Each structure stands twice: as C-alpha cells, then as structure tokens.
Amino acid sequence: EGEEKQAIRKKIRSTVAAEQLETGDTVVLQRAESEEPQIEENDPVKGPRYAQRTFAQFAARASSALDVRVLLHDSSEPHSLDGVAADGAYDDQSTSSLQSAEIVEREIKMDSRWTLGNVNTVLAHEFGLPSNQEIWLWYQLQNDVGPSGTPADPINVGYMDTQNEVTLGEVKKSFRLDKAAWTVHAVAVPPLPPKASIDNTFRHVCVRYFDSA
C-alpha cells in the first residue's frame, strides 16, 4: 500500500497477489535505475533540479514538491511576550512597533529532498541577502504571530552543523509536518563575530526569561 503519488517498485516475476496489486493500479514497465535522487542541475539560486527520466523519478518529484510561503521578519523586532512588545513602553501603545515592522513575503517552490543548506542559500538569494547569511525558520506559528512572540524553537537551528546533510523531508518527519503547502517565518540573524570563522564553536542562541507570576 502506498501514497497517492508514490511509485512502488514491483517484482515482474512475482504474482499479482504477492505484489498486492489492486483494481485501478497503474503498472509501468521500464528499465530500472537507481532509487537515489539524481541531481541534474545544482543551481545555488533556484535549488537542485532532479532527473525525471523514469516514471519512478517523476513520481518522486511529484511527491516531494512543496509550495512554501516565506515571511521574512525584521531581526530587530522587539521581543513580544503575550502580545506586549518589549520596547520600553509597557502601555496600550507597546504593540505599535510590532504592527509596523516590515514583513517581506515570497512564494517559493521547494523540494523535500533539498538540504537545509540548499534552502538557506535559495532564501538568501530570494530576499537579497548575502549567500552565507544564516536564516532561522519557524513553521506556521499559532495565530500567525511573529517569531519574536513565540516560545517555539526554529525548526532548523538544531541542524546548523549538518545543514548540508539534513533534508527538508527529514525535518518534516521530525516535526510531523504533513502538508504539501507550508507557511514559514524567517529571520536573518545578525552575523557572528570574525573569530567565528576560525573557532567553529560560536553559535547564536535564544535566551528567554520567565518570572514566577
């Protein structure tokens, strides 16, 4: 049993019952190729493009397609706790800085076989940022609140050391993100100090304080 858009390899010398074929299944006979994704073009600007020479590769492309709506937030937004912006004016006007913060939106077609490094590079180009810009991502926050107002951790921050190995598909499984259309909130974090290029132990961190009330 497979998904609607999934191509499953069957044994040609086996029986229909053994291969669990059902009425309405489509059977395609063709030369077998490697099941590993084959990159035909590794465009750093638009992301990798995968071979579609066989039906299985075409089905893999269809099942891996992601429509991603990306909202880029200003990294200087004040932290907002319970909707109150930490801008030094704790009154009815304290949310004004959040409401006026600029948000840039892009609709980007991605592939769940992309690595997080691919995603970071594509987003940097789309938003006119340096190619090595570190970008933190949050998935569809509750009530569409910005990253400055959520206790949730970025979905990619735990993979910074392995971002060229971990794929979007693996992140989907880790966070149980089943939808083919995502809304992602992004923040381009400030650059690390020059020493970070020498000492690889430098990292951005997010520190939250909680009172006892």
Half-sphere exposure of residue 168: CA atoms within 13 angstroms, side-chain side: 26
Identify the pLDDT of residue 122: 93
More confident site: 91 or 185: 185
Query: In this structure, what token pair is assigned to residue 199?
Result: 């000492």
Q: Which residue has the higher pLDDT, 54 or 179?
A: 54
pLDDT given at position 114: 93
Rounded Cα distance, 160 and 134, in Å? 9
Chain-wide mean pLDDT for the chain?
Answer: 76
Answer with the residue of higher pLDDT: 205 or 126. 126
Which of 165, 99, 163 minimizes the C-alpha distance to 135?
163
Provide CB contacts within 8 A for 77, sequence distance 6+: 97, 98, 101, 146, 147, 148
User: Tell me, what's the pLDDT at 96?
Assistant: 46
Evaluate if residue 103 carries a pLDDT over 60. Answer: yes
Work out the pLDDT band at 94, boundaries 50, 70, 90.
very low
DSSP 146: -
Residue 198 has pLDDT above 60, yes or no: no
CB burial class (10 A; 0-12, 13-18, 19+) of residue 185?
Answer: buried
Q: What is the rounded average pLDDT of the residues 146-150?
A: 73
18-39: average pLDDT: 75
Mean pLDDT, residues 13-42:
77
pTM over 0.75: no
The CA distance from 164 to 166, in Å, is: 6
> According to the model, what pLDDT value does residue 35 have?
62
pLDDT of 123 > 90? The answer is yes
CA distance 151 to 48: 33
pLDDT at 97 (0 to 100)? 46
Please tell me which residue, 20 or 88, carries the higher pLDDT value: 20
Confidence at residue 203, expressed as pLDDT on a 0 to 100 scale:
67
Question: Do 167 and 115 meet the contact criterion of CB atoms below 8 Å apart?
Answer: yes
Above 50 in pLDDT, residue 98?
A: no
Specify the DSSP class assigned to residue 70: E
For the CA atoms of the chain, what is the radius of gyration? 22
Confidence of residue 141 (pLDDT cuts 50, 70, 90): low
Confidence of residue 127 (pLDDT cuts 50, 70, 90): very high
42 phi and psi angles, rounded to 5 deg = -105, 80
Q: Are 114 and 48 in contact (CB under 8 A)?
A: yes
